[in-house]
Amino acid sequence: MTRNKIKMKKKLLYAAGFILIAISVNACSSLFQKCKFCKTVTYENGSVINQTTETEYCGTDLIKKEATPPITVGALTTKVECR
């Protein structure tokens, strides 16, 4: 084999290794993220009158969702509940 072929194979091997490591690191980081299921619930005088279906939120999306303050208009209060 010529030197050029050996160099090319090394480059391809390094590139494949780099891509494999990048994919595995990205996949592992999502496994360690904190995730919860959240829904929006509307109460009237303390009784539930409406709620959305639960959706999973992780990482910064979860932080934003949990930081959403309750909104009260008259006797109606709408807030995000996560479990």
Q: What does the pLDDT look like over 7-54, one tens digit per residue?
A: 888 888 887 777 767 666 555 455 567 899 999 999 999 999 999 999
**2 and 16 both lie in a single domain:** yes
**27 and 48 both lie in a single domain:** no
**44 and 77 both lie in a single domain:** yes
CB-count exposure of residue 38 (10 Å: 0-12, 13-18, 19+): buried
Is the full-model pTM beyond 0.85?
no
Q: What does the block give as tokens for 80?
A: 């995000």
Range(s) of the domain holding residue 64:
35-82
**Total number of domains constituting the chain:** 2
**24 and 44 both lie in a single domain:** no
